[in-house]
Amino acid sequence: MKEHQWQDATPCDEWNVTELVEHVVKTHRQVYAMAEAEGMEDFGSDLALTAQWIYAFRTFAGVLNDPDIADQPVQTRVGEQPFTFFIEGLLMVDTLCHTWDLARAIGSDEKLDDVAVARAHQRLIEADRLIRGSNGFKDPVEPSPGADAQTSFLNFSGRLV
């Protein structure tokens, strides 16, 4: 990414590139705080924004491998869930969508992992009524005939592809 692209528009009408990345990092911080894990209070806040994104990704990879944190129950708006289930739901979907948003905004490779797309799309379908509206996903877009899995997923999340 080039320095001048930080202010570029993204497919999320309300955010430029900087605001999009800040949202992803903030969401990771909020989800991590739900587990009340020790030692991550600043969550890399002293790092540059791109480094914070990488730090968040690596932190969650470690969390998923720590059963003391990963298996603990957390309270979500749909009730109590194992922390990993919440990560594999909201956090995965949000990050995957915004990874595509960022790639589209800066002209990078937009191809998402096929397995992640399939899992995220299923989780979105399961949570459809909970994810729409303010502070959530836009209404789904009807995919074109023959749309691939990634396009169908992104359309379901309210994105025009």
pLDDT digits (tens, 9 = 90+) for 54-98: 888 788 788 788 888 888 888 887 788 888 888 888 888 999 999
Q: Which of 115, 91, 112, 119 is nearest to 159 (CA)?
A: 112
pTM of this prediction exceeds 0.75:
yes
Please, which pLDDT band fits residue 39 given cuts at 50, 70 and 90?
Answer: very low
Domain boundaries, the chain: 14-36+45-156
Q: Which of 30, 126, 35 is nearest to 78 (CA)?
A: 126
